[in-house]
Structure 1
């Protein structure tokens, strides 16, 4: 079984929907596009995408249809449709999914005029552009935790026995898969296994997604958790959602700038600060490269990059973008993450096998 098969199989199990059923629902829910429409398959949520699409339409006069789904569902749809797919663009929520799309030869090479625009996090395959960046962080309850006592590396977190029973994690979530895959590829399988087993000794509380986990930290139910930086900012300052989560069973809390939850960054270059990049690409099935590449260029405009920063607190990939004052400046943010090849995130097979072997999934 290939890594992409395992990726889709696991996501389907978590969501309790088969990719085939999800694909049918996705296609049935959308009308057939006209031939002059630019069709985007988006793993990013409607709350983030809608305004940008509206702005693009108004500025260019190009009609756009967006079909939404999580990354695994969209990959399944594109593979099912094959060369008959109406999609021009794929806007992915995770680099693991984008790497798989590249491996499956779904993407077209992009021109230098697009590839040279980002200041960081560029593609080694020249088939996609980075759009925004999220960072892995350690969230902690400021009332219960002294941040000066936290480890400088995420690899030392399992040794913090004082937090036994007070730790949260999301071991079936895509961003955790990307993090653990990078641990495997940079530190080796045995070190990744050691880390997982050590974390399990802390008796962590598992969450299906990040929002209820950070809510639990703010409520004092747990003390620390590995998450993505913007979940903390969203809880404190509000803002839209950039990716799909099931909010029905826990609801959305009102933003509270005084909530006792804070962000801890490990030392610069540590895997605990891993940059998780969202990306977009033109598909092989695109019938209008000029319009497709115009939209990709728009995503890298200052207007679109500032909107993403202000609406969901994600970091831009170009210079000169004004950020909310509660976010780290770009120079500091760019130094946080270790450098790595995002294309290697397609190597999920070993990660999923490891999680099964230790009994996490």
Structure 2
């Protein structure tokens, strides 16, 4: 382990020899968040970066199909579930402490197979002109009991973060409880916005729904537009507040390990972390980044999230998807 850490430390110092290298990144993250970082990295290092965009599911499938022939050097994922799947298959190079020592360990996997780059939290958005927060339940498990919200709830069942949330629910409470929750929610006739949280909150603004299961940063975005929408966190430790990281890992099959490591280093540098926060309101994974006053401090919000081992999520993703299919929701 010490030898690996020392090797990776040496690679971090190899920037001057990286010019003329071409790095291939498979990104489940949108171009809006990736391209500015890539352009800055190219300017600073002389490395040419080719990015293949797609959903996490598409890119994971591509990596499996390509195997050792894959041109990918870095996988930059949008969810813990996808990153965990690839890590469980042994596809990532282990990262040394030289890279990870300044990164919050709340979402850093114990095996250091991949690096968290930002953190998002599940939450409940509500229309402030229609809903009083004190009327909302303490636990997401009790949301199906809110019959007054029948036909007024929004969710995005095809969205990776929602499926990660269900996978975590299975890990903590089991399939039977998760199935009961899904069936209870279905009885409330929620409106499904597929993978578009943006469309869902626009629908809330238009009065089509009153509450929505989403990630915290979507609410922060519309707050800039003065929408009548606010954030509701369930009680501390509740599954409805689940934290979920984006992250990146270096493929073992990469022929550009030094450049790939330098790219990961750039993702957790202060300028990149500030960019992710300012553009998308995602929580940084390093300290000393000034956050908007509209966001709960990271130290507070992380305490609201349940403690779930991210390595258990991949094996539960398919179970979650099956429960959704069985309920006629996928």
Q: Normalising by structure 1, report the TM-score.
A: 0.82
TM-fit CA distance, 1:155: 0.8
Distance 1:335 1:75 in 2: 31
Distance 2:329 2:208 in 1: 21
Report the equivalent of 1:173. 159
Residues 1:275 and 2:275 aligned together: no
Per the alignment, in what secondary structure is the counterpart of residue 108 of structure 1? coil
Report the equivalent of 1:36. 21
Distance 1:197 1:269 in 2: 23
Distance 1:35 1:83, change over 3 A: farther
Residues 1:50 and 2:19 aligned together: no
Identify the match of residue 234 of structure 2 among 247, 266, 270. 266
Report the equivalent of 1:297. 265
Per the alignment, in what secondary structure is the counterpart of residue 231 of structure 2? strand
TM-fit CA distance, 1:35: 7.8
Distance 1:171 1:63 in 2: 37
Count, aligned residues: 309
Moved more, 216-225 or 52-61: 52-61
Per the alignment, in what secondary structure is the counterpart of residue 110 of structure 2? coil
Please tell me whether the aligned partners of residues 125 and 343 of structure 1 are also in contact (alpha carbons under 8 angstroms). no
Residues 1:198 and 2:166 aligned together: no
For residues 86-135 of structure 1, the C-alpha deviation after alignment (integer angstroms, 9 at most, x for no partner) is: 21100001111111111222211111212322112111232101110111
TM-fit CA distance, 1:148: 0.9
Distance 1:42 1:139 in 2: 28
Matches within 5 A, 1:123-272: 123-208=109-194, 209-237=196-224, 256-257=225-226, 259-272=227-240
Report the equivalent of 1:116. 101
Distance 1:84 1:77, change over 3 A: same
Residues 1:96 and 2:96 aligned together: no
Distance 1:204 1:63 in 2: 46
Residues 1:313 and 2:281 aligned together: yes
TM-fit CA distance, 1:359: 2.4
Distance 1:230 1:156 in 2: 24
Report the equivalent of 1:60. 45
Please tell me whether the aligned partners of residues 276 and 282 of structure 2 are also in contact (alpha carbons under 8 angstroms). yes
Residues 1:350 and 2:319 aligned together: yes
Runs (4 or more) in structure 1 with deviation over 6 Å come to: none
Please tell me whether the aligned partners of residues 124 and 343 of structure 1 are also in contact (alpha carbons under 8 angstroms). no
TM-fit CA distance, 1:141: 0.6
For residues 277-309 of structure 1, the C-alpha deviation after alignment (integer angstroms, 9 at most, x for no partner) is: 101000012112221111111111111111100
Please tell me whether the aligned partners of residues 157 and 199 of structure 1 are also in contact (alpha carbons under 8 angstroms). yes
TM-fit CA distance, 1:71: 1.0
For residues 4-31 of structure 1, the C-alpha deviation after alignment (integer angstroms, 9 at most, x for no partner) is: xxxxxxxxxxxxxxxxxxxxxxxxxxxx
Unaligned 5+ segments in structure 2 are 1-18
TM-fit CA distance, 1:324: 2.3
Please tell me whether the aligned partners of residues 20 and 48 of structure 2 are also in contact (alpha carbons under 8 angstroms). no
TM-fit CA distance, 1:274: 0.4
